[in-house]
Structure 1
Amino acid sequence: MSIIINILITAVASYFLANVLSGVSFGSFTQAIFFSIVLGILNAIVKPILIFFSLPITILTLGLFILVINALIILIAAYFLDGFNVNGFWWALIFSLLLSLVTSILQSLI
């Protein structure tokens, strides 16, 4: 049950942020739900692999390179989904930062 709630929280937060940010867009709310499912899968499978291979640069930048990895995960999700568009790396970076912030606030409220 908590997985479904986390998916819905991520979908609501990402749909809200897509309406606020001009460089990110969704076709519909169902696309935001698909995005949150794909994002969860990518975070579970691809992100640990990217973190492992970029460990030296992550240590060198004191962990700030993980922000770049988060933006890359957003861009990979945009590649796989037709109704989700991101207009470049910087929009993906801003979107990933705000998405992390908003979802953590919403999850703490619930």
Structure 2
Amino acid sequence: MGFILKLLLTAVLTYVLANFLPGAHIDGFGSAIWLVIVLALLNAFVKPVLQLIGLPITIITLGLFLLVINALIVMLASYLLSGFEISGFFSALLFSIVLSLVTTVVDRVVD
């Protein structure tokens, strides 16, 4: 039950963020649910590979390269979903940072 509640709350917040932040556009709440699912799958399977490949750069930048990896994941989700669009890298970076903060709050409230 907690997983479904987190999914729905994150989808609602993602929908609000996509309509509020510049450079991000989402078609509807159904697209927001799909976006959350796709982001979860990309974070589970693609992100660890990117982190492993980018480990030397992450060490040199003291972890700031992880923000770039998060933005790339958001851009990949935008490419995979037709109902979600990001206008550029900096929009994806801003969206990923705010979404990470909001997801952390949702996780702490639900848990």
The TM tier, using the shorter chain, reads over 0.9
Q: 1:106 offset after TM fit, Å?
A: 2.3
SS in 2 for 1:103: helix
Structure-2-length-normalised TM-score = 0.94
Whole-angstrom distance in 2 between the partners of 1:53 and 1:2: 33
Whole-angstrom distance in 1 between the partners of 2:13 and 2:104: 10
Q: 1:96 offset after TM fit, Å?
A: 0.3
SS in 2 for 1:85: strand
Whole-angstrom distance in 2 between the partners of 1:53 and 1:9: 32
Moved over 4 A (4+): none
Q: What is the aligned-residue RMSD (CA, Å)? A: 1.0
Structure 2 residue 22 is the aligned partner of structure 1 residue 19? no
One-letter amino acid of the structure 1 residue matched with residue 22 of structure 2: S
Alignment check: 8 A CA contact 1:9 1:107 kept: no
Structure-1-length-normalised TM-score = 0.95
- Indicate the larger mover: 3-12 or 60-69: 3-12
Q: How many residue pairs are counted as aligned between the two chains?
A: 110
SS in 1 for 2:46: helix
Question: Tell me, which stretches of 5 or more residues in structure 2 are unaligned?
Answer: none
Residues 34-93 of structure 1: per-residue CA shift (max 9 Å, x gap): 000000000000000000000000000011100000000000000000000000000000
